[in-house]
Amino acid sequence: MEEYIQVSAKTKNEAITKAAIELGTASDELDIIVVSEGSSGFFGIGSKPAIIKARKKAEEIIEEESLKELEKEVVETVNPTVELKQEKVSKKPQVERPAREKNTKNTHKKEERQDIVKAEVKEKTGKEKIAKEKPIKEKPVKEKVVKEKPAKQTEILTNPEEIKEIENRAKKFLDEVFAAMSLDVEIKIVYNKEDGCLEAEFLGDDMGILIGKRGQTLDSLQYLTSLVVNKNRQGYIRVKLDTEDYRRRRKETLENLARGIAYKVKKTRKAVVLEPMNPYERRIIHSALQGNRYVETTSEGEEPYRHVVVKLKRER
């Protein structure tokens, strides 16, 4: 376990950010002790800086917390089958008869006329009530399900000059990015002729910054590098960026999550919606549960909110 470093800044959040940069990791991967919250003082007079002690968490703790965080963000869906019950309308609605006026002076003929008028009013109000009580049929809303697009067909390069050209193109772009970030990063780029993937590995002291929360920074950098490499090309070259073996560790985390969710779906018999993921991570979930006897997976929604749904297999 690394030793704590002490960092001070104007606010606690600034101190945490400063510590993350100094230790070369993401802020959520820090073990933090707050020494002083700091104080803004009165119109800047008597202000005190925020002081913290920080160190990088052990890799085992980071992986465990990442798995727990993913499980917390799982949202259980309600059974999509909704039964709409229509209210039964009585064919002969009861209409309350108004109280007869007490008038002993009315003749027998007037009473008959009043009865006729009351009957007409009764029939009219009954029809109006039926019209008002008639239920409105609601059309069930169909959720749009979009099938997962297959991965792009990767071009396998064999020409050494062409391979060297795309390697140089990727390295030039990454060197410019890291120079702008004031990061000292060693870049190792190798083209894998077996699967046609351009693989880049980063070595350095501040690699946690490049990974970001749940690999979001690394994924974004990988996407931009892919655009640069494939610009003005007819074939598609797959690009994979990695550092500190993050891709393998993330893959294991997602596979463990998939197995845990499958067990939960089997036990509760309710579908589970995972958090939005990029296409690469969604394929890991699909692949991990592809041979499961009890559950199946689908991808739903539109990017960037496209997510995996794990549900019970339909009985055949």
Domain regions of the chain by residue span: 5-57, 151-245
Q: What is the pLDDT of residue 85?
A: 40
3-state secondary structure of 248: helix
Looking at per-residue pLDDT, the higher value among 26 and 106 belongs to 26
pLDDT digits (tens, 9 = 90+) for 228-273: 999 998 889 999 999 999 999 999 989 999 999 999 999 999 999 9
Backbone phi, then psi, for 46, in 5-degree steps? Answer: 80, 20
Question: Is domain 151-245 annotated with CATH 3.30.460.10?
Answer: no
Residue 261 CB partners (closer than 8 Å, separation 6+): 71, 74, 272, 274, 310
Q: Which residue has the higher pLDDT, 304 or 247?
A: 247
Supply the mean pLDDT for the chain. Answer: 77
Q: Tens digits of per-residue pLDDT, 61-118? A: 766 666 666 666 554 444 444 333 444 444 444 544 544 444 444 545 555 555 554 5
Identify the bridge partners of residue 241 per DSSP, sorted by sequence position: 200
pLDDT above 90 for 1: no
Query: Percentage of the chain with pLDDT > 90?
Result: 38
Burial class (CB in 10 A: 0-12, 13-18, 19+), 135: exposed
- Distance (Å, rounded) from C-alpha 178 to C-alpha 256? 33
Class of domain 5-57: alpha beta
For residue 44, pLDDT over 70 is answered with no
**Better-predicted residue by pLDDT, 148 or 160:** 160
Q: Is-above-0.75 flag for pTM?
A: no
Distance separating alpha carbons of residues 33 and 14, to the nearest angstrom:
14
